[in-house]
């Protein structure tokens, strides 16, 4: 319908005689109203984002170590030190790919969602079930160990608006980001996709 209305608009000058200005204005007003109506009908209101809708870090194997601490253990390049109850990783050796800085204490790092939860929400995950959102939130391929401050800086931004300060990692970052987008069939706008492609060309060659 929207395409049809656009076609009608192009034909208005042909259909209406030049002398009938009042009729032209009437048709133009009607056209604007119909365009607005069609856009409203085709648009879907996105519900308000809430972090809790993705669940928390999961303890899939019920060993008291949730996804955060499982990942800290897996990605540490040295033997980790656990808390007294062995449920939390407190020390290890982690290279933050965003900053190229090495950390030895877990209290200084966050587990970042490469594709942020809110970013995914605005691009389609609001339609998912609770189970699907929990899967996405705990997917190791979408997680990095990073410095807390840089994670806060990134917030819910995509590659068109934010890239890691570590220039050497930017190409890999963009490619991995877009891989997750495709994996979960999230929908980016044409304008955003264009900007991301430009960034990829710049940093990947």
Whether 108 and 169 map to the same domain: the answer is: yes
Overall number of domains in the chain: 2
Whether 20 and 74 map to the same domain: the answer is: no
Instruction: Specify the pLDDT at position 23.
Output: 56
Does 11 have pLDDT greater than 70? Answer: no
Tell me 45's DSSP state: P
Q: Give the domain range for residue 12.
A: 2-42
Does 188 have pLDDT greater than 70? Answer: yes
Whether 150 and 124 map to the same domain: the answer is: yes
Whether 30 and 87 map to the same domain: the answer is: no
Residue 169 in contact with residue 114, Cβ under 8 Å?
no
Whether 14 and 79 map to the same domain: the answer is: no
Whether 71 and 10 map to the same domain: the answer is: no
Nearest to 176 by CA among 148, 204, 134, 147: 204
Whether 34 and 63 map to the same domain: the answer is: no
> 205 falls in which pLDDT band (50, 70, 90)?
confident
Does 143 have pLDDT greater than 80? Answer: yes
pTM, 2 dp: 0.79
Helix (H, G, I), strand (E, B), or coil: what is residue 120?
helix
Residue whose pair of structure tokens reads 């808390």 in the numeric block: 83
Whether 24 and 70 map to the same domain: the answer is: no
Whether 186 and 145 map to the same domain: the answer is: yes
The Cα 153–Cα 176 span in angstroms is 19
Whether 98 and 131 map to the same domain: the answer is: yes
Instruction: Give the list of residues 6+ apart from residue 70 with CB closer than 8 angstroms, or none.
Output: none
Whether 18 and 57 map to the same domain: the answer is: no
Residue 163: phi and psi, rounded to 5, are: -135, 155
Mean pLDDT, residues 68-72 taken together: 98
Whether 59 and 81 map to the same domain: the answer is: yes
The Cα 65–Cα 91 span in angstroms is 14
């Amino acid at each position: 319908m929207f395409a049809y209305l656009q076609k009608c608009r192009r034909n208005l000058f042909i259909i209406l005689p030049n002398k009938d200005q009042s009729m032209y204005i009437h048709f133009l007003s009607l056209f604007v109203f119909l365009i607005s109506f069609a856009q409203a009908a085709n648009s879907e209101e996105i519900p308000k984002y809430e972090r809790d809708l993705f669940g928390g870090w999961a303890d899939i194997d019920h060993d008291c170590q949730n996804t955060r601490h499982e990942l800290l253990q897996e990605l540490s390049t040295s033997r980790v030190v656990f808390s007294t109850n062995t449920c939390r990783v407190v020390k290890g050796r982690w290279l933050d790919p965003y900053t190229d800085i090495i950390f030895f204490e877990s209290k200084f790092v966050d587990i970042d969602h490469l594709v942020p939860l809110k970013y995914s929400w605005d691009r389609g995950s609001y339609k998912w079930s609770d189970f699907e959102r929990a899967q996405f939130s705990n997917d190791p391929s979408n997680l990095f160990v990073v410095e807390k401050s840089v994670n806060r800086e990134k917030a819910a931004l995509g590659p068109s608006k934010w890239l890691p300060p570590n220039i050497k990692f930017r190409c890999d970052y963009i490619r991995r980001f877009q891989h997750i987008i495709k994996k979960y069939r999230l929908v980016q706008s044409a304008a955003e996709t264009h900007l991301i492609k430009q960034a990829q060309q710049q940093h990947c060659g």
